[in-house]
């Protein structure tokens, strides 16, 4: 071994030269636990159900075996990845593209709703071996006879729990049933639920279960802070946070599309550069906003949970919960947008008294204990005892 060739943990896996090159071009210095456990098992052809915390590199965990599997001389769709949201589908497509950097013959199509079918037909005409899709749009293409799934040998459900929860169960089942029963079927998720287990029981053959617990090592280092506030003062307190000027790139989460839109507009009027991202924005624009944010064209993204799942933007330094999410898991996914790939991150929750009961539930669920902060008269953040604050109300 030459001195500059550092051991990364990928060497022992019998990967092709092209993939090793890509992994190194992506700057990975060590393999993550879910990758170490999943890649060899998938490469042996087993069905897999893998549960691992967000930000631990699950995309490459299935992406690498997928690319190792592909037959470049076969022009049919061999691998299909289903993802719950358009943004996530796009992101998976991009990550696979990076992994395939040194295998130029690999063609990847990304199919999702909201984009003209015609544009996607052009992608399909290029005879992709890999398709990444949201279930609804996939089914649409299947029903129009645009895609044939008879040669699929690997089927991946990413964020399986979320996808099944979003009411995609029927669509997903139809798609699973349209691929050959001999296929390899793998599911990836940050959390599991009854629907995931049911699908596994129904469609997987002897699945290997891989669970990676959140450990200190792979748990994103996210400092969690709660800033008690009132409905009237919330906006002002948000401005204090934004004015602190410490964080380069931030995501602000709201619970409704309307709030995301209004808050973004209000901030823009006040001179902050923000864009809104939510389900009512046309797909073309959503892609543009996401790309702009990833590229650092504007520093603040105001969004609903549509942007929380699986989305990976480098260097989101702070996440702000303008509203406390209604579901415990959303909290985990929101704050998981920062502290990615073992970087540090900060999450703030602007909390009104009525929301405080929900926060207790969330803390129990996440086994976390955020610190309480408050703004003093000068707009400077100070430590605050939780009890002290609520006693005053
Ligand atoms: P998950 O699906 O588990 O939430 P992702 O697949 O989105 O995580 O990966 C999160 C980030 O970590 C991505 O930017 C990805 O490129 C990066 N990443 C993946 N594997 C590694 C690795 N072995 N070392 C460093 N970074 C990695
Ligand atoms: Mg993921």
- Is residue 216, in this structure, part of any structural domain at all? no
Predicted pLDDT of residue 281: 86
Output the residue whose Cα is nearest ligand 1's atom 15. Answer: 57
Q: What share of the chain is helix, strand, coil (3-state, %, to 5)?
A: 40, 20, 40
Residue of 271, 251, 248 whose CA lies nearest to 260: 251
Judgement on whether residues 194 and 138 belong to the same structural domain of the protein: yes
Q: Are 273 and 73 in contact, with CB atoms under 8 Å apart?
A: no
Judgement on whether residues 126 and 11 belong to the same structural domain of the protein: yes
Judgement on whether residues 328 and 278 belong to the same structural domain of the protein: yes
Tokens of 248: 């380069």
Q: How far does residue 301's CA lie from ligand 2's centre (Å)?
A: 20
Predicted pLDDT of residue 391: 44
Output the residue whose Cα is nearest ligand 1's atom 23. Answer: 31
Torsion of CA 343, 344, 350, 356, to 10 degrees: 100
Distance CA 101, CA 23 (A): 10
Predicted pLDDT of residue 167: 78
Distance CA 76, CA 73 (A): 9
Judgement on whether residues 228 and 361 belong to the same structural domain of the protein: yes
Judgement on whether residues 199 and 237 belong to the same structural domain of the protein: no
Q: Which of 191, 211, 231 finishes a domain?
A: 211
Confirm or reject: Cβ of 86 under 6 Å from ligand 1: no
In whole angstroms, what separates CA 47 from the centre of its chain? Answer: 22
Predicted pLDDT of residue 91: 92
Tokens of 39: 């890649």
How many residues are listed for the chain in this entry?
A: 393
List C-alpha distances in Å: 294 to 54, 68, 162.
Answer: 18, 28, 23
Number of Cβ atoms within 10 Å of the Cβ of 36: 18
Predicted pLDDT of residue 338: 79
Blockwise average pLDDT, block size 10, the chain, 393 residues: 60 93 93 94 96 89 96 95 91 96 96 87 95 95 95 96 83 95 92 84 93 66 86 92 81 95 96 92 86 91 79 79 89 80 78 88 81 77 58 40
Distance CA 142, CA 369 (A): 47
Residue of 130, 356, 107 whose CA lies nearest to 228: 356
Distance CA 227, CA 151 (A): 54
Judgement on whether residues 325 and 179 belong to the same structural domain of the protein: no
Judgement on whether residues 49 and 198 belong to the same structural domain of the protein: yes
> For residue 357, what is the domain's CATH number?
3.40.50.300
Q: How far does residue 350's CA lie from ligand 2's centre (Å)?
A: 27
Report pLDDT digits (tens) over 197-214. 889 989 999 999 999 876
**3-state SS assignment for residue 303:** strand
Number of Cβ atoms within 10 Å of the Cβ of 149: 21
Predicted pLDDT of residue 188: 94
- Is residue 27, in this structure, part of any structural domain at all? yes
Judgement on whether residues 324 and 296 belong to the same structural domain of the protein: yes
- Is residue 362, in this structure, part of any structural domain at all? yes
List C-alpha distances in Å: 123 to 63, 85, 107, 110, 292.
Answer: 20, 19, 9, 8, 23
Q: Are 95 and 188 in contact, with CB atoms under 8 Å apart?
A: no
Confirm or reject: Cβ of 339 under 6 Å from ligand 1: no
Output the residue whose Cα is nearest ligand 1's atom 5. Answer: 57
Distance CA 199, CA 3 (A): 48
Burial of 342 (0-12, 13-18, 19+ CB in 10 A): middle
Q: Which of 211, 245, 268 finishes a domain?
A: 211
Judgement on whether residues 9 and 150 belong to the same structural domain of the protein: yes
Confirm or reject: Cβ of 23 under 6 Å from ligand 1: no
Confirm or reject: Cβ of 130 under 6 Å from ligand 1: no
Judgement on whether residues 229 and 335 belong to the same structural domain of the protein: yes
- Is residue 110, in this structure, part of any structural domain at all? yes
- Is residue 357, in this structure, part of any structural domain at all? yes
Domain count, the chain: 2
- Is residue 117, in this structure, part of any structural domain at all? yes
Q: What is the pTM of this model?
A: 0.68
Judgement on whether residues 25 and 87 belong to the same structural domain of the protein: yes
Judgement on whether residues 245 and 153 belong to the same structural domain of the protein: no
Predicted pLDDT of residue 17: 96
Q: Which of 162, 190, 211 finishes a domain?
A: 211
Distance CA 337, CA 340 (A): 7
Residue 239 structural domain: 221-392
Report pLDDT digits (tens) over 381-390. 777 655 544 4
């Amino acid at each position: 071994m030459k001195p500059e060739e550092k051991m990364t943990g990928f060497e022992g896996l019998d990967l092709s030269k092209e993939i090793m090159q890509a992994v190194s071009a992506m700057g990975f210095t060590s393999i993550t636990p879910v990758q170490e456990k999943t890649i060899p098992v998938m490469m042996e052809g087993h069905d897999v159900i893998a549960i691992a915390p967000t930000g631990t590199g699950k995309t490459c965990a299935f992406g690498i075996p997928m690319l190792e599997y592909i037959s470049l001389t076969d022009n049919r769709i061999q691998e299909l990845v289903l993802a719950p949201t358009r943004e996530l589908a796009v992101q998976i497509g991009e990550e696979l593209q990076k992994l395939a950097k040194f295998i130029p013959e690999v063609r990847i199509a990304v199919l999702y709703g909201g984009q003209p079918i015609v544009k996607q037909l052009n992608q399909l005409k290029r005879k992709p071996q890999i398709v990444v899709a949201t279930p609804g749009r996939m089914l649409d293409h299947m029903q129009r006879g645009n895609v044939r799934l008879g040669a699929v040998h690997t089927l991946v459900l990413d964020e399986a729990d979320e996808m099944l929860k979003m009411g995609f169960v029927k669509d997903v089942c139809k798609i699973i049933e349209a691929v050959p029963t001999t296929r390899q079927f793998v599911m990836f998720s940050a959390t599991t639920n009854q629907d995931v287990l049911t699908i596994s029981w129904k469609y997987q053959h002897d699945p290997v279960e891989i669970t990676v617990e959140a450990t200190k090592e792979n748990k994103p280092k996210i400092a969690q802070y709660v800033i008690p506030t009132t409905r009237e003062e919330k906006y002002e307190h948000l401005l204090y946070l934004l004015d602190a000027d410490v964080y380069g790139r931030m995501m602000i989460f709201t619970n409704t599309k309307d709030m995301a839109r209004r808050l973004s507009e209000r901030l823009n009027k006040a001179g902050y550069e923000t864009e809104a991202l939510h389900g009512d924005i046309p797909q073309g624009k959503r892609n543009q906003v996401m790309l702009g944010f990833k590229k650092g064209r504007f520093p603040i993204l105001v969004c609903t949970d549509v942007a929380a799942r699986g989305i990976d933007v480098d260097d989101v330094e702070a996440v702000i919960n303008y509203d406390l999410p209604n579901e415990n898991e959303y909290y985990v996914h929101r704050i998981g947008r920062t502290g990615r790939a073992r970087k540090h991150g900060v999450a703030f929750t602007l909390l009104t008294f009525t929301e405080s009961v929900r926060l207790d539930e969330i803390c129990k669920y996440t086994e976390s204990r955020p610190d309480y902060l408050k703004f003093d008269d000068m707009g400077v953040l100070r430590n605050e005892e939780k009890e002290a604050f609520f006693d005053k109300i």
